[in-house]
Chains A and B, each alone.
Chain A
Amino acid sequence: MSTAKTPASLLVVPILLWCAPSWAQDAPAAQPADRPELSAENQNRLKAEAFALDLSVPEAPAFVALGITPDKITRPTSPRELGAALLNGVDDQGNLQTGVAIDFVPYLALGGDDLTLALYRQNDFGPIGMRRIASRFAVSAATSKGTDSDDKSVRLALGFRLTPWDEGDARANTTIDGCVVKQHDAIIDRLKASGPFLHAVVMRKIGDPTLMWNTLADQLKEHGPDWVKDEYKEAYEAEKKEYEKQHQDDVPPPVVPPFKIPFTNREIEGWEAATAKCFEDAKRENWNAAAWDLGIAPTWVSESSGFNDLGSAGGTVWSSLSLNLPGDDWWGLRSLPDVVTADGRREPANPFAHETDVYTFARQHFQLLVHTRYRWDTRVDDPNSAGNMKILQDDVLIGGRIRAGISRLAISAEAAWVHENPQGLPGRDGQRYAVSGEVKITDSIWLQVSAGSSDNLDSGNDGFVIGSLRYGLSTESPYDTWQQVR
């Protein structure tokens, strides 16, 4: 069945008409006059995210829980580094140090050195691989200081993030193997062709086997091939002389090959670009892969900055479930046969090479996301107090998004509902909706049109009102944005 391709303009125009400001001027339905409005924090949050609601689980929940963007993040990769990072968080007197920001994956830090990609892909219970799940469990920790110079308190947050299900896990994507191996084979063959004599000279000259070839590549880039030849010529000739002296009695006498740089800078750059493209292509193909992310970040505060003085300061828990339609394997349907390449290798068929029916088309081009966030014991301004009194509040956000991407056209529609439960006060809620469309004008320019509406987010708001219409140009493809943030 052929797929009908709707001209992008026909889809953009209805969006523009629906969002036209003149329509927005018409009177909406009235709301009860005494309806409590949301806290300033949630109002600002939803307004700021009007056209791109943040419906994702943060990469480092601890940082988000404290509202910080650390300049320097420690990512320990071994037990020793982890211990050092933790010790740096507390001084000799047991006082918490501010500015700590740690983010790591315990399984990879403590046992990842023996984890090959093949082992990573092994399943333990049916389709479940415990090593994959463990590798997708991250821990973050952060501290921050009080709000002003008179505030000596220190806040601490721990964050835990887990992705128990990820159909777009790049490490489990065997298509990437077939792409990466081309560069790997080319590099390995080049290094092999340079021969053991050159290997030995380069290693002796640079001194570190983990640096030798990368250093040579960097020198080629920085100084050019002539400089590199001159730099290594002396060492090579000296080694050659020594070798010939040792083997002067051999019959026939061995012939030391002439010095030759194993690769050019252009080749290095080509391999780098080709490998990067392997991952970019995979991300783009899997932008709407199904996944489930979970996160939790409890926080504490110590008024005296002492570790023993820590008291609970609330926390946040997130859940994001992104869905698309399941593939042939899930339905038990015939999967695409392997393809045979020109050099006789068998490779998995690219399931996105063509769209054979409406179901496949929908599966490849749509994504539904459902997000929930619950925060407990957040300190907010007391609306009944004239001063700076705070009260505790719990709130929940439930949001959803549907995305559709069809090559030159990307559409996103989203909605969020927030309910607050402040201490001693009646509950209150608000909603926000947004829709956006992006049309590809050229390879590097996208036209963006978006509109949002809100309910109970402004003082004196009387109900559902079209908030605003925006349009503009962007050089970033929505698929690049979508693949970074579910």
Chain B
Amino acid sequence: MANEKIALLRKNGGVPTVKVTIGQAQWGSFGVYVTTKDGLGWEVERKGHSWDSVEAEVDLELSPTQLDGRDVWIDMVITPLVVGDPYAATIEVRQEGQAVSGGQLPPYKGVTDRHNFMLSALVRLLTK
């Protein structure tokens, strides 16, 4: 898929995590989901908010081998202080505290046009 990024996990690199940063001091919530093997449902579900902790990083609960070939969707809702304010969201797939190859997605930036600005990101995980 054109907008799908591919992150390469290290087989022995530990349980991967996803770090979601919703910036510009906006209110943001996110859900991180790993698809089932058949791609029709969710096997892992994690949630977070931009006001809960300085760093919002969730672990994916499965080993790199189990995650091979799976998709990770990150759904986000961003509420600006004032509609029309800029938004910024960055996503990183990490192992052992470092971004994996291809795991640093290009930042999502723009201008909000509603109180609840929705966006999603997709990462395909491959294990080497």
Contacts and interface: CB of A to CB of B under 8 A. Distances in A.
Interface stretch (A38-46, A140-148, A252-260, A356-364): A252-260
A119 B110 contact: no
Given A113-B90, A214-B113, A195 B41 contact: yes
Nearest to B35: A196
A262 to B, nearest CB: 10
A102 interface: no
Given A117-B50, A187-B77, A255-B40, A181 B114 contact: no
Contacts of B55: 116
Contact of A117 (B28, B88, B114, B122): B28
A132 to B, nearest CB: 9
A247 B40 CA distance: 12
By CB atoms of chain B within 10 A, which of A112, A117, A192, A279 has the most?
A117
B23 interface: yes
Contacts of A276: 115
A279 B85 CA distance: 14
Given A191-B31, A256-B40, A272 B115 contact: yes
Contacts of A122: 54
A225 to B, nearest CB: 18
Q: Contact size class for A? A: 35 or more
A191 B41 contact: no
A181 B109 CA distance: 22
Contact of B116 (A114, A174, A211, A272): A272
A254 B35 CA distance: 14
By CB atoms of chain B within 10 A, which of A113, A211, A257, A275 has the most?
A113
Contacts of B2: 204, 207
Interface residues of B, number: 55
Interface in A227-263: 243, 247, 250, 254-257
Nearest to B105: A209
A25 interface: no
Interface string B74-114: 01010101000010101000000000000000011111011
Contacts of B51: 116-118, 121, 174, 177
Nearest to A199: B73
Interface of A: 77-78, 108, 112-122, 135, 170-171, 174, 176-177, 180-181, 183-185, 187-188, 191-192, 195-197, 199-200, 203-204, 207-214, 217, 243, 247, 250, 254-257, 271-272, 275-276, 279
Given A116-B22, A119-B25, A184-B77, 4 more contacts: A117-B51, A203-B122, A213-B118, A257-B40
